[in-house]
Amino acid sequence: MKKILLPIFLIFLLNACTSYRALKHFNKDIAYTQAVMYSKKADIVYNDEVKTIFYATFLNKADEKYDDNYYNFVIGIYSQEDKLSDYALTLNNISYDKIKEVNKDSKLYENISLKNAWAKYYYVSFKKNKSTASILLELRDENYKKASISFLN
């Protein structure tokens, strides 16, 4: 009987001394947690190998300060061989209006939730279309392989 009661007592004792807050080690700000909810990833696969990794965060939904006359995104592209200029980036088959590389020491870079140390990140803006309920962000390579990420407007 003592062999059974001692382990049960130890389990209850150890369980009573633990914290129930599962997220206590994640001390991120609100902008980061919002960015997590509106971030997605897709891959361009060629001959059963991942050629390009494509990340996107929909900033209009993540932070209201980005909700203007444009759909604003932070996109990340990682490819061993290619640059952004080797791809076509579109939103609902329309090309972007503005693009700017994001520096790794900027506040915007700190709030990127899906980070890859080797990826290049860009702030990209597309003209808004009010009648669109969902939006499709696509990255196509020269072989017409594509990675698609969709968001609700």
> Rounded to whole angstroms, what are the CA distances from 109 to 19, 65, 99, 122, 142?
32, 16, 15, 9, 28
15 within some domain: no
Name the residue range of residue 73's domain. 23-152
11 within some domain: no
Q: Give the pLDDT of residue 2.
A: 65
How many CB atoms neighbour CB 142 within 10 A? 9
DSSP code of 65? G
Q: Which long-range contacts (CB under 8 A, 24 or more apart) does 129-135 make?
A: 129/92, 132/92, 135/71, 135/91, 135/92
Site of tokens 């791809």 = 87
What SS3 state is found at 101? Answer: strand
pLDDT, tens digit, for every residue of 26-74?
556 676 777 788 899 999 988 888 899 999 999 988 888 888 889 999 9
* pTM for this predicted structure: 0.77
Helix, strand and coil percent figures for the chain, each rounded to 5 = 25, 40, 35
Domains held by the chain: number = 1
5 within some domain: no
- Determine what percent of the chain is predicted with pLDDT higher than 90: 39
CATH of the domain at 63: 2.60.40
